[in-house]
Amino acid sequence: MKQTFFTAISGFALLVILMAGCQKEDGLSPIQDNRQITVRSHDCDDPFTCWDVNDQDKYADSSTITNNTGSQTRVFKFKYYNTLSNFHVDWSYLASNNAARYLKITVTGNGVDDASFSTPIVQSVGSGSHDFTLEAGWDLCYDANWVAEIWEPVAPAGPTNDVLIASTMGSYDLVDECTCDDGRQNQGETGVDCGGPCAPCVTGCDESLTATVNCTSDEDGCNRHVTFTYEAGADHSNIVIQGGLTAFTTICNVSSTGGNVTQNTTHNSAGGPSNVTRWEASGVEECDVVTVTIDWTSTNANANITGTWTVKDGNGIELASLSPLTCPQ
């Protein structure tokens, strides 16, 4: 009985000694993959967030992963951002004791080619950088998801024997460059994709009177069709659009769009029936568009099918004019 008890005690003591001998020299124990999320620090969809060749790390994020024991500190720091072709990582390591470690970073996502990178084994101080390749066709706000891990090398060297000590993870939203056709107001533009480094912005509207002409006979036999288009360059309480058609005409249809347009004057053309020549519109605001369309039949052999047309304000001041029209050749 005593022999059995002594044997059991001796076996337990030997187990304790063996376990103690298996501990790492720095007193560390391997840990499970205890990951924490690193929060994004920039808004990729903000119209003022865009990549700048002269300030490439403007929207860089950074993270820290530590492996500390008591007063002993082992810290990996890394900063990351994207260029137009790469996801760039700068890393550094600082240990208060001579503890060999290396950092492994794995990047995945719809904006970057999936890949992993391991730093060299560092004893106390080290730094470096690495570029991950962006996928072809990547776009604004595509993501680069990363996992960073501290590993302790164990002889014989190799990933099979190395021990994962600590890890963290996060995500980075890719930033695209500012252009003059990205549909966003940025890079010092005074409007969306205009002003600043882009073409000047077009502000307001100019007073204009234009016309489209068709001299093809329709099913009603009308062989003259003109649409007059007026665009206001300012606010006007009243405008008058007026002009004439050549003699020997028969009006088929008259219509208008935009504003409160009233057909209110006709006159008799010499040698033929009457034709409409005047419209009034009220409450016209800058950039409003008013159209007047006239369809008629003409037997006049004159090349001109209309006289001069004008637009005047309520005080009779001419705002825009249009020379006599002819049929398209």
Is the pLDDT assigned to residue 12 strictly greater than 70?
no
Q: CATH second-level architecture of 26-173?
A: Sandwich (2.60)
Q: In the sheet where 289-298 sits, what is the strand order?
A: 208-214, 224-231, 289-298, 249-257
- Identify the bridge partners of residue 276 per DSSP, sorted by sequence position: 266
| Annotated domain spans of the chain | 26-173, 208-322
Condensed to tens digits (0 to 9), the pLDDT of residues 206-259 reads 999 999 999 999 888 899 999 999 999 999 999 999 988 887 888 888 888 887
**208-322 CATH:** 2.60.40.2430
Answer for the pair 171, 109: CB distance below 8 angstroms, yes or no.
yes
Is the pLDDT assigned to residue 10 strictly greater than 50?
no
Domains 26-173 and 208-322 share a fold: yes
Categorize the per-residue pLDDT at 293 as very low, low, confident or very high, splitting at 50, 70 and 90: very high
Please tell me the pTM assigned to this model: 0.51
- 263-271: long-range pairs with CB below 8 Å, 24+: 269/244, 269/245, 271/247
Q: Which segment of 24-28, 161-165, 228-232, 296-300 scores lowest on mean pLDDT? A: 24-28
